[in-house]
Amino acid sequence: MTNAPEITGETDIAPPVSSTGIVAWMRERLFSSPLNIIMTVLCGLLVIATLPPFIEWALIKAVWISPTADACRAARGGACWAFIAEKHRLILFGLYPYDEQWRPLLAALVNIALIVASCMRRFWNIRLLYIWGIGLVLISWLMWGGVLGLSYVENTKWGGLPLTLILATFGVGFAFPFGIVLALGRRSNMPAIKTLCIMYIELIRGVPLISLLFMSSVMLPLFFPEGFSIDKLLRAQIAIIMFAAAYIAEVVRGGLQAIPKGQYEAADALGLSYWKKTGLIILPQALKIVIPPMVSLFIAMFKDTSLVVIIGIFDLMNATKASLTDTAWKGFAVESYIFVSIIYFVFCFSMSKYSQQLEARLATGHKR
Amino acid sequence: MASAHGTGIKPPARRLTWNDPTVRAVVYQVIALGLVAFGVWYLVSNTLHNLETRKIASGFDFLTREAGFAIGESPIYFGPENTYARAILVGILNTLRVAVVGIILATLLGTIIGIARLSKNWLLAKIASLYVEVMRNIPLLLHLFFWYALITEIMPGPRDALNPMPGVFISNRGIKVPSPTDHFAFDLAAGGFLLGLILSVVVAQWAKKRQERTGLTFPLMWSSLALILGLPLLGWLIGGAPTQLDVPVLRGFNFQGGATLTPEYAALLAGLVIYTAGFIAEVVRSGILAVSHGQWEAASALGFTRGRLLQLIVLPQALRVIIPPMTSQYLNITKNSSLAIAIGYPDIVSIANTTLNQTGQAIEGILVIMGVYLSISLSISLFMNWYNKHIALVER
């Protein structure tokens, strides 16, 4: 006698639906329910409606090389990349003397190298300070010149991408120590210092960057004695530093708050002075926590430097606007804006990807 | 016996020494305050001296003088004969007009995209994440320039304006839509809308109380929808159900009648909404992801449908995470609306700038801008803090 079930047609069940392979993937991720099917169809329609016309405009019908605008005007319905080919030096380097434009190019590369070095974990120590010092000197020498065989170029002629990079990097770089001091001040138990720091941080964070830039351009000259003048670029840089410091202070404060109380108490128990406690125990831990939000802040500042357009400084954005004023090449605004968008996008996107990676590496939580 | 205690070690008399932290604290604070006071005094005295030598008047007297410039668009009447104070009021209204509409639209768009990015549908999730990555990583100013160029350069002139719907015209002069005429019925409808909003809040309060008391639920969504849509309809019907609208018509070189969305306003609004929606989408997404898996699984185990699960379990918990970063996004929209000056929309910054250029009173102009933004920022913060407290977790 056997208890084994008889295999008959009645108990036969269909094999489970395949859960691997492209068909299964599509069934699961695109067509799993009626609602899902509707969404897939709608999204598909959206892609079909936008992508082919865009490709046709941007690639197929586009004019790539042409010395004049006539070829672009003749080819209707296509992008005019010839405009970018014609104007890219103006957009990238502004009014910097044409023959000397290798200098801002080199300066921009040095600047990018500085950013990359700051992103590498093995430089997260005192060496970073030296690297920044050397970088600053190198960039100033390349941009200003005047010594060691380079001709002098005054900073009203600076422009384009190098200027945007300088404003953002040194804006955040110089704001960093101020921000740390402000954050420590805000956490201090001395009421006067705490109040001063809170007032500064909240005042700056409550107003738009534009109002600070306006302040730097119309009010700062009134603040200083007669005959003492700071040039426009430096004034804008000061406004950006003041602005960034308040935001950095809040980011650092978040890090300080995340350090468990035991760390403070242990440092006190060891008899460390306030500065030793802060410098050796608290800040190294707090700053490590705030690196990802600092990167986001840097991205935000990099985008925000474009506001200097409004007080007439020749950064990447303003150089782009200037390239549009040429009457021989009128009407290609969309192409040039797309070109600059790509530049900004490449910088911001790579930094945000870096920040995500870092966050994943530094995170110690429950993830599924 | 008391003397035995008296012979014990007496606490050392308090002396002023550098080793006493209280003394140090006082000294540090006096130094800090002194430095700040000196800095302020130095700047103020310089400023006063400079103002005197440059013969610039100070004070806010200029506000009552005639402005003498025109403003492109204004929700209230403004002409060159009006005062600077009224010009600044127009600026504040214009800023609020774009900020409020921008906050509402960006919240809607951002929430949709944030949820879409979490969708199981691969295509939808990919489109949403593409949107977020692209829009967030391009400066807002570029968005504004781009949209402004698109409207003013790519769109056809009024003569061959796009006409996607009867009565709606899109041209390089902006978007023209039919507007309600000055009929009594439309005022009634607007009143009905407001009444509907207030009543639905009242009903929601009542339904909540009843549910706490008896456990009975109330179809809140349907009742609110009926109130908000039904009352305006009723008002319109009572007013005699007029069907006449003020439809824009092409006369000469431009349209007459109807309501206009100027290119400046449309570009500013589009830029702000599209840019900020990318950030709001991430806020919403991270808020939903912050609700632990256990909550989803427990709710599914209890047999909740997906809609009820989202409504009753996930969203209330996600909102707690979402509200603080959402507040800063709302503040950002308000502050970022100051970029309006770059494309010529007459917001407060642009008008204050014109004012300070005309009167030369730079300090007062900047103070006006900062004062306005600080008060708007503070009000939004206060409201959102109140709301945050309202939904925060109540612990023992």
- In chain A, residues 193-212 whose CB comes closer than 8 Å to chain B: 193, 196, 203, 205-211
Side chain identity, residue B282: E
pLDDT at B2 over 50: no
Chain A nearest C-alpha distance from B147 (Å)? 9
**With 0-12 CB in 10 A as exposed, 13-18 as middle and 19+ as buried, what is A183?**
buried
Q: Are residues A233 and A255 located together in one domain of the fold?
A: yes
Q: Are residues A30 and A178 located together in one domain of the fold?
A: no
Contact B373 A304 (CB under 8 A): no
- Residue among A32, A51, A207 with most chain B CBs within 10 A, to mutate: A207
Domain boundary among A31, A60, A89: A60
Residue with tokens 């006369």: B251
Structural domain includes residue A67: no
| pLDDT averaged per 10 residues in sequence order, chain A, 368 residues | 54 71 77 82 89 84 76 75 80 80 84 84 80 86 77 79 89 91 90 90 89 86 76 88 92 87 90 89 85 87 89 85 80 85 91 84 59
Structural domain includes residue A221: yes
- Interchain CB contact of A350 with B (< 8 Å): no
Domain boundary among A60, A95, A112: A60
Contact B123 A40 (CB under 8 A): yes
- d(CA B63, CA B91) in angstroms, rounded, equals 14
Q: CATH number of the domain that A136 lies in?
A: 1.10.3720.10
Side chain identity, residue A336: S
Q: Which two tokens stand for residue B340?
A: 């309006």
ipTM: 0.84
Q: Are residues A146 and A292 located together in one domain of the fold?
A: yes
Q: For position A22, what pLDDT does the model report? A: 78
- d(CA B248, CA B168) in angstroms, rounded, equals 8
E-strand ranges in A112-195 read: none
Contact B374 A207 (CB under 8 A): yes
Domain boundaries, chain B: 21-55, 84-181+244-391
Q: Are residues A204 and A247 located together in one domain of the fold?
A: yes
For residue B46, list chain A residues with Cβ-Cβ distance below 8 A: 222-225
E-strand ranges in B149-204 read: 162-165, 168-171, 174-177, 179-180
Q: Are residues A283 and A256 located together in one domain of the fold?
A: yes
For residue A307, list chain B residues with Cβ-Cβ distance below 8 A: 141, 339
- Residue among B113, B138, B295, B329 with most chain A CBs within 10 A, to mutate: B138
Name the residue of chain A whose CA is nearest to B120's CA: A29
- d(CA B137, CA A302) in angstroms, rounded, equals 10
**CA angle, residues B101, B106, B107, in degrees to nearest 5:** 105
Q: For position A364, what pLDDT does the model report? A: 59
Pairing relationship of beta strands B162-165 and B179-180 according to DSSP bridges: unpaired
Structural domain includes residue A332: yes
For residues B148-154, give the mean pLDDT.
83
Q: Are residues A158 and A29 located together in one domain of the fold?
A: no
Structural domain includes residue A317: yes
- Of B275, B3, B256, nearest in space to B137 by CA: B275
Q: Which two tokens stand for residue A366?
A: 């429950």
Banded model confidence at residue B107, pLDDT cuts 50, 70, 90: very high
Q: How many domains does chain A have?
A: 2
Q: For position B4, what pLDDT does the model report? A: 47
Structural domain includes residue A5: no
Q: For position B393, what pLDDT does the model report? A: 67
Q: Are residues A28 and A84 located together in one domain of the fold?
A: no
Output the CA torsion sign for A331, A336, A337, A338.
positive
Supply the range of the domain harboring residue A48. 17-60
List, as one string, the DSSP characters of B216-245: ----HHHHHHHHHHHHHHHHHHHTT----E
For residue A189, list chain B residues with Cβ-Cβ distance below 8 A: 25
Q: Are residues A227 and A301 located together in one domain of the fold?
A: yes
E-strand ranges in A290-348 read: none
Chain B nearest C-alpha distance from A325 (Å)? 13
Pick A271 or B77 by higher pLDDT.
A271
Q: For position A267, what pLDDT does the model report? A: 92
**With 0-12 CB in 10 A as exposed, 13-18 as middle and 19+ as buried, what is A159?**
buried
Banded model confidence at residue B108, pLDDT cuts 50, 70, 90: very high
Q: For position A20, what pLDDT does the model report? A: 72
Banded model confidence at residue B298, pLDDT cuts 50, 70, 90: very high
For residues B76-97, give the mean pLDDT.
86
Residue A214 CA neighbour count, 13 Å, CB half:
26
Q: Are residues A122 and A263 located together in one domain of the fold?
A: yes
- What is the CATH superfamily name and number for domain B84-181+244-391? MetI-like (1.10.3720.10)
Q: Are residues A48 and A79 located together in one domain of the fold?
A: no
Q: Are residues A169 and A51 located together in one domain of the fold?
A: no
For residue A299, list chain B residues with Cβ-Cβ distance below 8 A: 137
Pick A268 or B311 by higher pLDDT.
A268
Q: Which two tokens stand for residue B268?
A: 């500013």
pTM more than 0.90: no
Q: For position A368, what pLDDT does the model report? A: 47
Structural domain includes residue A141: yes
Distant-in-sequence contacts of B176-180, Cβ < 8 A, 24+ apart: B176/B248, B176/B255, B176/B258, B176/B259, B176/B260, B176/B261, B177/B248, B177/B258, B177/B259, B177/B260, B177/B261, B178/B245, B178/B246, B178/B247, B178/B248, B178/B258, B178/B259, B179/B245, B179/B246, B179/B257, B179/B258, B179/B259, B180/B245, B180/B246
Least confident span in B98-112, B207-221, B328-342: B207-221
Q: At what angle are helices B84-117 and B315-336 packed, to 10 degrees?
A: 140
Structural domain includes residue A21: yes
Banded model confidence at residue B279, pLDDT cuts 50, 70, 90: very high
Structural domain includes residue A368: no
Domain boundary among A60, A93, A111: A60
Q: Are residues A112 and A33 located together in one domain of the fold?
A: no
